[in-house]
Amino acid sequence: MIMIDTNVDFNEFVKRLQDKFGYKKKVRCKVKDEDGDGMIGLADQEDLDMVISTSKKNAKRERSDTGKMEVWVMEV
């Protein structure tokens, strides 16, 4: 698990994942879509911002102070 600020830069986000899990090569990230039945590629800042926004909405609906997102990381 890693904790990020909601205004994290995409490149910093990817670097933190690589550092945390020991990836040496480039990685590809995916997250579950809003319906939870498919996966969406996380390729740039716009994608990351969308996922963070969705996470914040879900946290608010659940009356939680912390948003959560499950990220699947694959080395390429």
In a domain, 39, yes or no: yes
CA distances from 70 to 2, 40, 52 (A): 11, 11, 11
Residue 51 lies in a domain: yes
Instruction: Please give the pLDDT value at position 33.
Output: 79
CATH of the domain at 38: 3.10.20
- Residue 2 in domain: no
Q: What are phi and psi of 44, to 5 degrees?
A: -160, 180
pLDDT at 10: 96
- HSE value, Cβ hemisphere, 13 Å, CA-based, for 56: 10
pTM: 0.86
What's the pLDDT score for residue 60? Answer: 94
The residues near 32 (Cβ < 8 Å, ≥ 6 apart) are 38, 39, 40, 70
Distance from C-alpha of 74 to C-alpha of 23, rounded to nearest angstrom: 9
Q: What pLDDT shows up at residue 34?
A: 74
For residue 47, give its domain range. 10-75
Residue 4 counted as domain residue:
no
The pLDDT tens digits for 23-47 are 999 999 999 877 778 899 999 999 9
Domain count, the chain: 1
Would you say residue 5 lies in a domain?
no
